[in-house]
């Protein structure tokens, strides 16, 4: 199964953690994962993907304007209905609004007719309620295991709903 991780990134933190998610996705047999910045999406690959994960930095308590524009004008053309979707975010400091960013992405995922995967809070540690969050001032590497775990859990779920 192909899985796309699509993100916006201003300082490369979001790109870095998108790579960690892809690392976790690829730990699951039968999964091929690729990451794409919103300005450089392989649309054919994304359309062929059985599941997609979206993420962006948090700016002023929500997604960046560029990411909103992507969601509103381009994401719907990727054939998302019925597919599994997930969300992640980065923020500059704890309580910077990343949970709100994830929820705004989740709203769009649901409107597109996708199924939303939160991260498996019932799977135990690390508990991921909505999607993983990286706090940039603490360094992306600090959150590597969290994002890899999310990717692996997401891939396992995507294969179940395929």
Q: What CATH number has the domain bearing residue 94?
A: 3.40.50.360
Give the pLDDT score at 93: 86
Q: Cα 8 to chain center, whole Å?
A: 10
Which H or E element spans position 88?
strand 84-91
Radius of gyration of the chain (CA): 14
The number of domains in the chain is 1
Closest CA to 50 of 97, 114, 2: 2
Are 129 and 118 spatial neighbours (Cβ–Cβ below 8 Å)?
Answer: yes
Give the pLDDT score at 119: 80
> Is the whole model's pTM more than 0.85, yes or no?
yes
Question: And the tokens for 15?
Answer: 């790109």
Could you list the residue range(s) of the whole structural domain that residue 150 is in?
2-161
Residues of the chain with pLDDT under 50: none
Give the pLDDT score at 99: 94
């Amino acid at each position: 199964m192909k899985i796309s991780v699509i993100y916006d990134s201003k300082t490369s933190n979001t790109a870095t953690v998108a790579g960690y998610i892809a690392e976790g996705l690829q730990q699951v047999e039968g999964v091929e994962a690729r990451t794409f910045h919103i300005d450089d999406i392989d649309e054919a690959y994304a359309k062929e993907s059985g599941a997609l994960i979206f993420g962006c930095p948090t700016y002023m308590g929500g997604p960046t304007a560029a990411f909103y524009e992507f969601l509103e004008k381009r994401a719907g053309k990727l054939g998302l209905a019925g597919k599994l979707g997930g969300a992640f975010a980065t923020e500059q400091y704890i309580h910077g609004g990343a949970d709100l960013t994830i929820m705004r992405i989740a709203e769009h995922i649901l409107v597109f007719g996708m199924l939303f995967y939160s991260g498996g809070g019932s799977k135990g540690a690390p508990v991921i309620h909505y999607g993983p969050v990286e706090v940039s001032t603490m360094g992306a590497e600090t959150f590597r295991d969290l994002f890899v775990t999310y990717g692996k859990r997401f891939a396992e779920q995507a294969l179940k709903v395929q």
